[in-house]
Amino acid sequence: MTAFSLRLPESLMKEVDARAKLLHLPRSEYVRLAISRMNREVAAEERRTRLQSVSARVRDESMRICAEFDVVEYGHGKTR
| DSSP assignment letter at 24 | T
Give the pLDDT score at 74.
Answer: 81
pLDDT digits (tens, 9 = 90+) for 7-48: 999 999 999 999 999 999 999 999 999 999 999 999 999 999
Higher pLDDT among residues 76 and 10, named by residue: 10
77 — pLDDT class (breaks 50, 70, 90): low
Give the pLDDT score at 20.
Answer: 98
State how far the Cα of 79 lies from the Cα of 66, in Å rounded to an integer. Answer: 9
* Contacting residues for 31 by C-beta, under 8 A, at least 6 apart: 6, 16
Residue 79 has pLDDT above 70, yes or no: no
pTM exceeding 0.75: no
Q: Sketch the domain layout of the chain as residue ranges.
A: 10-74
